[in-house]
Amino acid sequence: MDTQKKAQRELRAWRREKKLIPVMIAKYCRGVHGTKGEMCEDCRALTEYALFRLDKCPFKVNKQFCSFCRIHCYRPEMRQKIKDVMRYSGPRMLFSHPIFALSHVVQMMRSRRAQKKAAQNTPQN
Ligand code: SF4
Ligand SMILES: [Zn+2]
């Protein structure tokens, strides 16, 4: 595979997230804040913030979802907001964007397995 193709491939998840985060926030805004057309101001600010964080993300290559990030670069209040969005919109993406939604489930399972393994390997006092 040539270098350019490889780079494109490695950034695929990052690009997909950039495209779908605004979709998820808009879904949340419609469902939870009752907006009809445009998103509310709060959700617009969250979208801008999330896209800014994604642009600055140090883990763009073969990116995992932010939910499983070991550093989590969001400010605490924004982190809580995006968590609420994920909880609401995640399951609702299953019909419109099944691959995206399923890859979130797979990463969640992997992350839980890794946490469990780490806990088993931690010596008890
Ligand atoms: S939370 Fe982690 S994966 Fe998400 S944008 Fe920030 S650094 Fe990147
Ligand atoms: Zn809203």
Band of pLDDT at residue 39, cut at 50, 70 and 90 = very high
In this structure, which residue's CA is closest to atom 6 in ligand 1?
73
Q: Alpha-carbon distance 57 to 112, whole Å?
A: 23
The atom of ligand 1 lying closest to the CA of 59 is 8
Query: Ligand 1 pocket test: which of 52, 69, 75 has the largest number of ligand atoms within 8 Å of its C-beta?
Result: 69
Band of pLDDT at residue 1, cut at 50, 70 and 90 = low
DSSP code of 67?
Answer: G
Q: Is the pLDDT of residue 122 over 90?
A: no
Residue-wise pLDDT for 82-115, tens only, equals 999 999 998 899 888 898 888 888 888 888 888 8
Joined tokens for residue 119 = 């806990």
- Give me the helix-helix angle, 98-121 and 12-32, nearest 10°: 100
Centroid of ligand 2 to alpha carbon of 27 (angstroms):
9
Centroid of ligand 2 to alpha carbon of 99 (angstroms):
25
Q: Alpha-carbon distance 25 to 51, whole Å?
A: 11
Q: According to the model, what pLDDT value does residue 80 have?
A: 96
pTM confidence score? 0.85
**Ligand 1 surroundings by CB, under 6 angstroms:** 53-54, 57-59, 66, 69, 71-74
